[in-house]
Structure 1
Amino acid sequence: MSILRTLDSDEFAKLIRIDQVVPKTRYCNYLLKQLQYRLTDSKPELNPGAVLAAIRELEGGISCGTKEAKEYKRKPLAGLWHKHYIEPGIGSALKNIKNALQRSSPMFSSDEVDPWAASGEMTQEILNMGIVERKRRHQYTGEWLIFAKYKDENYYLCIANHDTGDHYIRSKIDQYCMSEFSWLSRVLCGKSCA
Protein backbone atom coordinates (compact mmCIF):
# COMPACT_ATOMS: atom_id res chain seq x y z
CA MET A 1 0.00 0.00 0.00
CA SER A 2 1.23 3.46 -0.89
CA ILE A 3 2.16 5.72 2.01
CA LEU A 4 0.24 8.47 0.19
CA ARG A 5 -3.04 6.64 0.87
CA THR A 6 -2.51 6.88 4.61
CA LEU A 7 -2.11 10.67 4.71
CA ASP A 8 -4.95 12.72 6.16
CA SER A 9 -6.19 15.79 4.28
CA ASP A 10 -3.87 18.24 6.03
CA GLU A 11 -0.81 16.05 5.40
CA PHE A 12 -1.73 15.59 1.75
CA ALA A 13 -2.37 19.33 1.31
CA LYS A 14 1.06 20.02 2.77
CA LEU A 15 2.67 17.43 0.49
CA ILE A 16 1.23 18.89 -2.72
CA ARG A 17 1.66 22.48 -1.45
CA ILE A 18 -1.83 23.58 -2.36
CA ASP A 19 -1.75 26.23 0.38
CA GLN A 20 1.00 28.00 -1.57
CA VAL A 21 -1.49 28.43 -4.42
CA VAL A 22 -4.78 29.08 -2.62
CA PRO A 23 -5.73 29.46 1.07
CA LYS A 24 -7.19 26.45 2.87
CA THR A 25 -10.44 28.32 3.38
CA ARG A 26 -11.07 28.31 -0.40
CA TYR A 27 -10.84 24.65 -1.34
CA CYS A 28 -12.98 21.73 -0.34
CA ASN A 29 -11.58 18.66 1.41
CA TYR A 30 -13.41 16.60 -1.21
CA LEU A 31 -11.10 18.07 -3.87
CA LEU A 32 -8.10 16.95 -1.81
CA LYS A 33 -9.53 13.44 -1.44
CA GLN A 34 -10.12 13.25 -5.19
CA LEU A 35 -6.55 14.33 -5.92
CA GLN A 36 -5.18 11.86 -3.39
CA TYR A 37 -7.23 9.00 -4.82
CA ARG A 38 -6.33 9.87 -8.42
CA LEU A 39 -2.65 9.99 -7.49
CA THR A 40 -2.62 6.66 -5.67
CA ASP A 41 -5.42 4.46 -6.96
CA SER A 42 -6.38 5.33 -10.51
CA LYS A 43 -5.04 4.69 -13.96
CA PRO A 44 -3.71 6.87 -15.38
CA GLU A 45 -2.52 8.55 -12.26
CA LEU A 46 -3.19 12.24 -11.99
CA ASN A 47 -0.40 14.60 -11.15
CA PRO A 48 -1.99 17.08 -8.70
CA GLY A 49 0.31 19.70 -10.23
CA ALA A 50 -1.96 19.78 -13.30
CA VAL A 51 -4.92 20.84 -11.16
CA LEU A 52 -2.76 23.24 -9.17
CA ALA A 53 -1.62 24.85 -12.44
CA ALA A 54 -5.26 25.53 -13.35
CA ILE A 55 -5.91 26.97 -9.87
CA ARG A 56 -2.76 29.09 -10.13
CA GLU A 57 -4.00 30.54 -13.42
CA LEU A 58 -7.41 31.31 -11.93
CA GLU A 59 -5.69 33.04 -9.02
CA GLY A 60 -3.93 35.39 -11.43
CA GLY A 61 -0.87 33.35 -12.28
CA ILE A 62 0.66 32.02 -15.47
CA SER A 63 -1.65 30.43 -18.04
CA CYS A 64 -1.68 26.65 -18.07
CA GLY A 65 -2.61 26.70 -21.78
CA THR A 66 -6.17 25.44 -21.45
CA LYS A 67 -9.43 27.12 -22.34
CA GLU A 68 -10.72 30.05 -20.31
CA ALA A 69 -12.93 29.26 -17.34
CA LYS A 70 -16.58 29.03 -18.27
CA GLU A 71 -19.76 29.33 -16.25
CA TYR A 72 -22.33 26.53 -16.28
CA LYS A 73 -25.63 27.90 -17.55
CA ARG A 74 -27.92 24.88 -17.09
CA LYS A 75 -29.13 23.09 -14.01
CA PRO A 76 -28.00 21.26 -11.96
CA LEU A 77 -24.62 23.06 -12.12
CA ALA A 78 -25.86 26.55 -12.99
CA GLY A 79 -23.98 29.11 -10.92
CA LEU A 80 -20.76 27.11 -10.84
CA TRP A 81 -17.76 27.45 -13.12
CA HIS A 82 -15.27 25.04 -14.65
CA LYS A 83 -11.69 25.37 -15.83
CA HIS A 84 -9.94 22.74 -17.86
CA TYR A 85 -6.79 21.13 -16.55
CA ILE A 86 -4.48 18.89 -18.51
CA GLU A 87 -5.00 15.22 -17.77
CA PRO A 88 -1.95 12.98 -18.21
CA GLY A 89 -1.87 10.27 -20.83
CA ILE A 90 -2.76 9.72 -24.43
CA GLY A 91 -6.52 10.20 -23.94
CA SER A 92 -6.28 13.94 -23.40
CA ALA A 93 -3.84 14.33 -26.28
CA LEU A 94 -6.11 12.38 -28.63
CA LYS A 95 -9.14 14.47 -27.60
CA ASN A 96 -7.23 17.64 -28.47
CA ILE A 97 -5.94 16.26 -31.76
CA LYS A 98 -9.49 15.24 -32.70
CA ASN A 99 -10.81 18.72 -31.79
CA ALA A 100 -8.10 20.40 -33.85
CA LEU A 101 -8.76 18.15 -36.84
CA GLN A 102 -12.52 18.63 -36.70
CA ARG A 103 -12.16 22.40 -36.67
CA SER A 104 -9.59 22.53 -39.43
CA SER A 105 -10.92 20.04 -41.95
CA PRO A 106 -14.43 18.96 -42.97
CA MET A 107 -13.01 15.50 -43.59
CA PHE A 108 -12.73 15.01 -39.83
CA SER A 109 -16.08 16.46 -38.76
CA SER A 110 -17.64 13.00 -38.51
CA ASP A 111 -16.87 10.25 -36.04
CA GLU A 112 -16.98 7.85 -39.00
CA VAL A 113 -13.68 8.78 -40.64
CA ASP A 114 -11.83 6.05 -42.56
CA PRO A 115 -8.43 6.17 -40.83
CA TRP A 116 -6.56 4.77 -43.82
CA ALA A 117 -8.02 7.28 -46.24
CA ALA A 118 -7.39 10.12 -43.81
CA SER A 119 -3.91 9.18 -42.62
CA GLY A 120 -1.98 11.49 -44.97
CA GLU A 121 -4.12 14.53 -44.25
CA MET A 122 -4.23 13.65 -40.56
CA THR A 123 -0.45 13.54 -40.32
CA GLN A 124 -0.15 16.94 -41.98
CA GLU A 125 -2.86 18.47 -39.78
CA ILE A 126 -1.22 17.11 -36.63
CA LEU A 127 2.08 18.63 -37.65
CA ASN A 128 0.55 21.98 -38.61
CA MET A 129 -2.15 22.43 -35.98
CA GLY A 130 -1.65 19.90 -33.24
CA ILE A 131 -1.42 20.05 -29.54
CA VAL A 132 1.27 22.72 -29.29
CA GLU A 133 -0.74 25.19 -31.36
CA ARG A 134 -3.92 24.55 -29.35
CA LYS A 135 -2.04 25.17 -26.11
CA ARG A 136 -0.45 28.34 -27.50
CA ARG A 137 -3.91 29.69 -28.38
CA HIS A 138 -5.38 28.59 -25.02
CA GLN A 139 -7.74 26.14 -26.74
CA TYR A 140 -6.39 23.00 -25.12
CA THR A 141 -9.15 21.01 -23.53
CA GLY A 142 -8.86 18.71 -20.60
CA GLU A 143 -10.89 17.53 -17.69
CA TRP A 144 -12.71 19.91 -15.34
CA LEU A 145 -11.82 21.71 -12.16
CA ILE A 146 -15.16 22.86 -10.79
CA PHE A 147 -15.36 25.97 -8.66
CA ALA A 148 -17.73 28.61 -7.36
CA LYS A 149 -17.30 32.36 -7.33
CA TYR A 150 -18.28 34.11 -4.12
CA LYS A 151 -17.45 37.64 -2.99
CA ASP A 152 -14.94 38.07 -5.84
CA GLU A 153 -12.98 34.92 -4.94
CA ASN A 154 -12.84 31.41 -6.34
CA TYR A 155 -13.71 28.42 -4.16
CA TYR A 156 -12.49 25.10 -5.52
CA LEU A 157 -14.91 22.21 -5.11
CA CYS A 158 -13.95 19.13 -7.13
CA ILE A 159 -12.62 17.66 -10.35
CA ALA A 160 -14.64 15.75 -12.94
CA ASN A 161 -14.26 14.18 -16.36
CA HIS A 162 -16.20 15.26 -19.45
CA ASP A 163 -18.21 12.06 -19.34
CA THR A 164 -19.21 12.46 -15.69
CA GLY A 165 -22.86 13.38 -15.60
CA ASP A 166 -23.87 16.80 -14.28
CA HIS A 167 -26.34 15.25 -11.82
CA TYR A 168 -23.61 13.01 -10.40
CA ILE A 169 -21.24 15.98 -10.03
CA ARG A 170 -23.99 17.95 -8.29
CA SER A 171 -24.76 15.06 -5.93
CA LYS A 172 -21.11 14.93 -4.85
CA ILE A 173 -21.02 18.70 -4.35
CA ASP A 174 -24.19 18.48 -2.27
CA GLN A 175 -22.78 15.57 -0.27
CA TYR A 176 -19.25 16.83 0.36
CA CYS A 177 -18.99 20.57 -0.27
CA MET A 178 -22.16 22.18 1.05
CA SER A 179 -21.15 21.67 4.68
CA GLU A 180 -17.83 23.46 4.11
CA PHE A 181 -19.27 26.48 2.32
CA SER A 182 -22.58 27.58 3.85
CA TRP A 183 -23.20 30.12 1.07
CA LEU A 184 -22.87 27.52 -1.72
CA SER A 185 -26.56 26.60 -1.75
CA ARG A 186 -27.41 30.24 -2.60
CA VAL A 187 -24.92 30.23 -5.49
CA LEU A 188 -26.41 27.01 -6.85
CA CYS A 189 -29.94 28.24 -6.33
CA GLY A 190 -29.19 31.46 -8.20
CA LYS A 191 -31.96 33.74 -9.40
CA SER A 192 -34.63 31.08 -8.91
CA CYS A 193 -34.34 31.55 -5.10
CA ALA A 194 -34.81 35.31 -5.17
Structure 2
Amino acid sequence: MIDKQTAMNLVLNDFNELISSRIVHLSDCNITPLDNEKFESSILDVRNRLSVKLNNNGKCSALLVNQLATHQCGLGELFIIKENKDDNNEISVIEFYQSSEILNLIENLETSLEENLFTSRNSPFEGKGISKTHHGAYNTLGASLVINVKNYWFKKNGQLHNDKEDEFDEIYKKYISGTVNSIQHAMHQKAIHSKKLTGEWLIYKRHNNINYYFCLAKHNEGDQEIYDNKILKCFQEFPELL
Protein backbone atom coordinates (compact mmCIF):
# COMPACT_ATOMS: atom_id res chain seq x y z
CA MET A 1 0.00 0.00 0.00
CA ILE A 2 1.36 3.44 -0.91
CA ASP A 3 0.46 6.78 0.59
CA LYS A 4 -1.61 9.27 -1.36
CA GLN A 5 1.18 11.73 -2.18
CA THR A 6 3.43 8.96 -3.48
CA ALA A 7 0.58 7.60 -5.60
CA MET A 8 -0.06 11.07 -7.04
CA ASN A 9 3.63 11.54 -7.87
CA LEU A 10 3.88 8.14 -9.54
CA VAL A 11 0.75 8.81 -11.60
CA LEU A 12 2.13 12.18 -12.70
CA ASN A 13 5.43 10.57 -13.71
CA ASP A 14 3.57 7.91 -15.69
CA PHE A 15 1.55 10.59 -17.50
CA ASN A 16 4.76 12.45 -18.40
CA GLU A 17 6.43 9.28 -19.67
CA LEU A 18 3.36 8.34 -21.71
CA ILE A 19 3.24 11.81 -23.26
CA SER A 20 6.92 11.61 -24.19
CA SER A 21 6.44 8.21 -25.79
CA ARG A 22 3.45 9.40 -27.83
CA ILE A 23 4.97 12.58 -29.19
CA VAL A 24 5.84 11.85 -32.81
CA HIS A 25 8.78 13.92 -34.03
CA LEU A 26 9.54 14.51 -37.68
CA SER A 27 12.81 12.63 -37.21
CA ASP A 28 10.82 9.55 -36.13
CA CYS A 29 8.94 9.32 -39.44
CA ASN A 30 9.75 7.76 -42.76
CA ILE A 31 9.11 10.15 -45.63
CA THR A 32 7.22 8.43 -48.44
CA PRO A 33 6.02 9.80 -51.79
CA LEU A 34 2.48 11.15 -51.71
CA ASP A 35 -0.09 9.08 -53.55
CA ASN A 36 -1.65 11.97 -55.46
CA GLU A 37 -4.55 9.89 -56.73
CA LYS A 38 -5.48 8.80 -53.21
CA PHE A 39 -5.06 12.32 -51.84
CA GLU A 40 -7.16 13.92 -54.59
CA SER A 41 -9.82 11.29 -54.00
CA SER A 42 -9.78 12.15 -50.31
CA ILE A 43 -10.12 15.88 -51.05
CA LEU A 44 -13.16 15.12 -53.22
CA ASP A 45 -14.64 12.96 -50.46
CA VAL A 46 -14.10 15.69 -47.84
CA ARG A 47 -15.72 18.30 -50.10
CA ASN A 48 -18.71 16.00 -50.69
CA ARG A 49 -19.10 15.44 -46.97
CA LEU A 50 -18.83 19.17 -46.32
CA SER A 51 -21.61 19.87 -48.82
CA VAL A 52 -23.87 17.92 -46.45
CA LYS A 53 -22.37 19.08 -43.14
CA LEU A 54 -22.48 22.77 -44.11
CA ASN A 55 -26.08 22.53 -45.34
CA ASN A 56 -25.39 25.04 -48.15
CA ASN A 57 -24.65 27.77 -45.63
CA GLY A 58 -21.18 27.60 -44.06
CA LYS A 59 -17.91 27.91 -45.96
CA CYS A 60 -14.69 25.98 -45.55
CA SER A 61 -11.21 27.13 -46.58
CA ALA A 62 -9.05 25.21 -49.02
CA LEU A 63 -6.47 25.00 -46.23
CA LEU A 64 -8.86 23.16 -43.92
CA VAL A 65 -10.02 20.85 -46.73
CA ASN A 66 -6.39 19.86 -47.32
CA GLN A 67 -5.83 19.32 -43.59
CA LEU A 68 -8.89 17.09 -43.30
CA ALA A 69 -7.89 15.11 -46.40
CA THR A 70 -4.40 14.66 -44.98
CA HIS A 71 -5.78 13.17 -41.77
CA GLN A 72 -8.32 11.07 -43.66
CA CYS A 73 -5.41 9.50 -45.55
CA GLY A 74 -3.61 8.84 -42.25
CA LEU A 75 -0.60 10.83 -43.36
CA GLY A 76 -0.20 12.90 -40.23
CA GLU A 77 0.21 16.68 -40.12
CA LEU A 78 3.38 18.55 -39.22
CA PHE A 79 3.09 21.20 -36.52
CA ILE A 80 5.89 23.47 -35.32
CA ILE A 81 5.31 24.12 -31.63
CA LYS A 82 7.06 25.96 -28.85
CA GLU A 83 8.16 23.84 -25.91
CA ASN A 84 7.64 26.88 -23.70
CA LYS A 85 5.76 30.00 -24.77
CA ASP A 86 8.29 32.15 -22.90
CA ASP A 87 11.29 31.01 -24.95
CA ASN A 88 12.16 30.40 -28.59
CA ASN A 89 12.76 26.63 -28.49
CA GLU A 90 10.68 24.97 -31.19
CA ILE A 91 10.10 21.32 -32.04
CA SER A 92 8.46 19.58 -35.00
CA VAL A 93 5.70 17.12 -34.10
CA ILE A 94 3.29 15.03 -36.15
CA GLU A 95 -0.38 14.80 -35.13
CA PHE A 96 -2.96 12.33 -36.38
CA TYR A 97 -6.63 13.36 -36.14
CA GLN A 98 -9.87 11.66 -37.12
CA SER A 99 -11.29 13.88 -39.85
CA SER A 100 -14.76 12.33 -39.60
CA GLU A 101 -15.11 13.56 -36.01
CA ILE A 102 -14.05 17.08 -37.00
CA LEU A 103 -16.57 17.05 -39.85
CA ASN A 104 -19.26 16.09 -37.32
CA LEU A 105 -18.10 18.97 -35.12
CA ILE A 106 -18.54 21.35 -38.07
CA GLU A 107 -22.05 20.01 -38.59
CA ASN A 108 -22.85 20.67 -34.93
CA LEU A 109 -21.53 24.23 -35.17
CA GLU A 110 -23.86 24.86 -38.09
CA THR A 111 -26.83 24.32 -35.79
CA SER A 112 -25.37 26.24 -32.84
CA LEU A 113 -25.09 29.97 -32.25
CA GLU A 114 -22.43 29.53 -29.60
CA GLU A 115 -19.18 31.39 -30.24
CA ASN A 116 -15.94 31.16 -28.30
CA LEU A 117 -14.10 34.30 -29.35
CA PHE A 118 -10.38 34.90 -28.95
CA THR A 119 -10.28 37.77 -26.47
CA SER A 120 -6.70 37.76 -25.18
CA ARG A 121 -5.15 41.20 -25.20
CA ASN A 122 -2.18 41.81 -27.48
CA SER A 123 -3.12 38.77 -29.55
CA PRO A 124 -3.25 39.04 -33.35
CA PHE A 125 -6.78 37.61 -33.10
CA GLU A 126 -7.98 40.45 -30.87
CA GLY A 127 -10.88 42.44 -32.29
CA LYS A 128 -11.17 40.36 -35.47
CA GLY A 129 -14.14 38.25 -34.39
CA ILE A 130 -12.24 34.98 -34.76
CA SER A 131 -13.52 32.03 -32.75
CA LYS A 132 -12.17 28.65 -31.72
CA THR A 133 -13.68 25.39 -30.66
CA HIS A 134 -11.81 22.42 -29.26
CA HIS A 135 -11.51 19.07 -30.98
CA GLY A 136 -8.27 17.27 -30.13
CA ALA A 137 -9.25 15.75 -26.81
CA TYR A 138 -11.33 13.06 -28.48
CA ASN A 139 -9.85 12.87 -31.97
CA THR A 140 -6.10 12.64 -31.68
CA LEU A 141 -4.17 9.42 -32.02
CA GLY A 142 -1.00 11.05 -30.70
CA ALA A 143 0.01 12.78 -27.47
CA SER A 144 -2.67 15.47 -27.17
CA LEU A 145 -5.25 13.28 -25.46
CA VAL A 146 -2.86 12.32 -22.65
CA ILE A 147 -1.71 15.93 -22.33
CA ASN A 148 -5.30 17.04 -21.89
CA VAL A 149 -6.04 14.31 -19.34
CA LYS A 150 -2.97 15.38 -17.40
CA ASN A 151 -4.00 19.04 -17.57
CA TYR A 152 -7.48 18.10 -16.34
CA TRP A 153 -5.95 16.87 -13.08
CA PHE A 154 -2.69 18.75 -12.58
CA LYS A 155 -1.45 22.33 -12.55
CA LYS A 156 1.73 23.25 -14.39
CA ASN A 157 3.66 22.90 -11.12
CA GLY A 158 2.59 19.26 -10.80
CA GLN A 159 0.07 19.84 -8.01
CA LEU A 160 -3.55 18.75 -8.25
CA HIS A 161 -6.06 21.42 -9.21
CA ASN A 162 -7.87 22.51 -6.05
CA ASP A 163 -11.27 21.43 -7.41
CA LYS A 164 -9.92 17.95 -8.27
CA GLU A 165 -8.66 16.98 -4.81
CA ASP A 166 -11.93 15.36 -3.70
CA GLU A 167 -12.16 13.42 -6.98
CA PHE A 168 -8.62 12.14 -6.55
CA ASP A 169 -9.32 11.17 -2.93
CA GLU A 170 -12.32 9.14 -4.08
CA ILE A 171 -10.26 7.29 -6.70
CA TYR A 172 -7.33 6.77 -4.33
CA LYS A 173 -9.54 5.23 -1.63
CA LYS A 174 -11.24 2.96 -4.16
CA TYR A 175 -8.01 1.62 -5.63
CA ILE A 176 -5.69 1.93 -2.61
CA SER A 177 -5.10 -1.82 -2.57
CA GLY A 178 -4.52 -1.96 -6.31
CA THR A 179 -1.75 -0.61 -8.51
CA VAL A 180 -0.73 2.87 -9.64
CA ASN A 181 -1.88 1.86 -13.14
CA SER A 182 -5.39 1.22 -11.85
CA ILE A 183 -5.46 4.67 -10.24
CA GLN A 184 -4.15 6.27 -13.42
CA HIS A 185 -6.71 4.42 -15.56
CA ALA A 186 -9.54 5.61 -13.30
CA MET A 187 -8.24 9.19 -13.54
CA HIS A 188 -8.08 8.87 -17.33
CA GLN A 189 -11.67 7.60 -17.53
CA LYS A 190 -12.90 10.31 -15.16
CA ALA A 191 -11.35 13.03 -17.31
CA ILE A 192 -12.71 11.58 -20.56
CA HIS A 193 -16.25 11.24 -19.25
CA SER A 194 -16.23 14.74 -17.77
CA LYS A 195 -16.46 16.20 -21.32
CA LYS A 196 -14.35 19.13 -20.07
CA LEU A 197 -11.11 18.41 -21.88
CA THR A 198 -9.91 21.25 -24.05
CA GLY A 199 -7.92 19.69 -26.85
CA GLU A 200 -6.70 21.48 -29.95
CA TRP A 201 -8.38 24.14 -32.07
CA LEU A 202 -10.73 24.34 -35.01
CA ILE A 203 -10.64 28.05 -35.88
CA TYR A 204 -13.52 29.83 -37.60
CA LYS A 205 -15.27 33.17 -37.95
CA ARG A 206 -18.98 33.97 -38.03
CA HIS A 207 -19.86 36.78 -40.45
CA ASN A 208 -23.36 37.77 -41.58
CA ASN A 209 -24.75 34.59 -39.98
CA ILE A 210 -22.33 32.40 -41.95
CA ASN A 211 -19.56 30.33 -40.37
CA TYR A 212 -16.25 30.45 -42.22
CA TYR A 213 -14.09 27.51 -41.14
CA PHE A 214 -10.40 28.39 -41.37
CA CYS A 215 -8.04 25.70 -40.10
CA LEU A 216 -6.89 23.24 -37.49
CA ALA A 217 -4.23 24.51 -35.11
CA LYS A 218 -2.45 23.48 -31.93
CA HIS A 219 -2.71 25.94 -29.07
CA ASN A 220 1.05 25.80 -28.52
CA GLU A 221 1.93 26.77 -32.09
CA GLY A 222 1.70 30.39 -30.96
CA ASP A 223 -1.04 32.88 -31.86
CA GLN A 224 1.16 35.01 -34.09
CA GLU A 225 2.43 32.01 -36.05
CA ILE A 226 -1.12 30.68 -36.52
CA TYR A 227 -2.28 34.10 -37.68
CA ASP A 228 0.62 34.69 -40.08
CA ASN A 229 0.80 31.20 -41.58
CA LYS A 230 -2.86 30.17 -41.63
CA ILE A 231 -5.41 32.88 -40.90
CA LEU A 232 -4.01 35.37 -43.41
CA LYS A 233 -4.31 32.75 -46.16
CA CYS A 234 -7.97 32.32 -45.26
CA PHE A 235 -8.58 36.07 -45.36
CA GLN A 236 -7.11 36.07 -48.87
CA GLU A 237 -9.56 33.33 -49.84
CA PHE A 238 -12.50 35.13 -48.19
CA PRO A 239 -11.80 38.89 -48.71
CA GLU A 240 -15.33 39.71 -47.57
CA LEU A 241 -14.15 39.04 -44.02
CA LEU A 242 -11.58 41.86 -44.04
TM-score (norm 2): 0.56
Matches within 5 A, 1:84-163: 84-86=134-136, 87-102=139-154, 107-108=159-160, 123-124=182-183, 126-127=185-186, 129-131=187-189, 133-163=190-220
CA distance in 2, matches of 1:11, 1:163: 30
Q: Does the CA-based 8 Å contact 1:97-1:126 persist in structure 2?
A: no
Say whether residues 1:13 and 2:47 are aligned partners: yes
- SS at 1:179's partner residue? helix
1:112-153 deviation digits (Å, cap 9, x = unpaired)? xxxxxxx967743641x434x444443122211000011223
Residue 60 (structure 1) aligns with: 111
Matching residue's letter, 1:161: K
- SS at 2:236's partner residue? coil
Matching residue's letter, 2:118: Y
Residue 238 (structure 2) aligns with: 181
Q: Residues 71 and 49 from structure 1, CA distance in 2 versus in 1: closer, same or farther, beyond 3 angstroms?
A: same
CA distance in 2, matches of 1:175, 1:137: 35
Gaps of 5+ in 2: 1-33, 77-93, 162-177
Q: Residues 21 and 160 from structure 1, CA distance in 2 versus in 1: closer, same or farther, beyond 3 angstroms?
A: same
Q: Please, what is the CA RMSD of the aligned residues?
A: 3.1
Q: Does the CA-based 8 Å contact 1:81-1:146 persist in structure 2?
A: yes
- SS at 1:130's partner residue? helix
CA distance in 2, matches of 1:13, 1:125: 40
CA distance in 2, matches of 1:95, 1:56: 26
Q: Percent identity?
A: 22
1:99-124 deviation digits (Å, cap 9, x = unpaired)? 22227xx7446xxxxxxxxx967743
Give the one of 23, 48, 69 matched to 2:99: 48
- SS at 2:69's partner residue? helix
Gaps of 5+ in 1: 62-67, 110-118, 186-194
1:74-100 deviation digits (Å, cap 9, x = unpaired)? 321122111111332241221222122
> How far 1:172 moved relative to its partner?
2.9
Q: Does the CA-based 8 Å contact 2:58-2:110 persist in structure 1?
A: no
CA distance in 1, matches of 2:45, 2:103: 16
Residue 71 (structure 2) aligns with: 38
Residue 118 (structure 2) aligns with: 72
Matching residue's letter, 2:201: W
Larger-gyration structure (1/2): 2
Q: Does the CA-based 8 Å contact 2:58-2:210 persist in structure 1?
A: no
Number of equivalences: 164
Q: Does the CA-based 8 Å contact 2:148-2:198 persist in structure 1?
A: yes
Residue 27 (structure 1) aligns with: 60
- SS at 1:54's partner residue? helix
Q: Does the CA-based 8 Å contact 2:46-2:68 persist in structure 1?
A: no
